[in-house]
Amino acid sequence: MEKVERFADWLSSAAMWVAIVVGTLMMLHVTADVFARNFLSAPLFGTIEIVSNYYMVAMSYLPLAWIVKNEGHIFVELFTRNMSARALLRLDTYVAVITLVYVGIVTWKTLESAIEQTQIREQTESALGFISIWQSRWFVVIGFGCFALQLLAQIVLGFARMRNKSEASAT
């Protein structure tokens, strides 16, 4: 159980670091494009396409698992504010199960799409030709896959905590 949790934590942190590096590369790329366009009168080829199809996709989907791990998503505590810790743990664990089903379906469908786009070598047109973008489809699959694994680790941990609390209250 601890190995799954540690692996999920490591994977979510690694995906987040990749997203940070990609964000840094995007800033450098855009800066170089602006410099080249304004001072050399020669913009870089495909900057808009690369930013929108690679950098932004990676920065949007790779951090999903890290956000879940660190509870960075939105919580609405209007109805749960007065719940006991035990009831809240139970609710959070069951909601994670439902979310895992949804994320699993999204992961599966994006995997199908990534395989299809890889097979046809998806491209987008730019001013000077075509840019291959099928590789960026895999960022979505990896992001949702890490998200699913992080949810699975939280579910296993939640059920273990529920079992431990029920055993402690029984004695």
d(CA 90, CA 77): 15
Coil vs helix vs strand at 125: strand
Coil vs helix vs strand at 129: strand
Question: What ranges do the domains of the chain cover?
Answer: 2-170
CB 100 within 8 A of CB 155: yes
CB 132 within 8 A of CB 122: yes
* Residue 7 pLDDT greater than 80, yes or no: yes
The per-residue pLDDT for range 110-169, each reduced to its tens digit, is 999 999 999 999 998 887 789 999 999 999 999 999 999 999 999 999 898 888 876 666
- The answer to whether the pTM exceeds 0.95 is no
d(CA 128, CA 39): 21
At 120, which amino acid appears? I
d(CA 41, CA 32): 12
Please choose, from the candidates 145, 128, 140, the residue with its C-alpha nearest in 3D space to the C-alpha of residue 47.
128
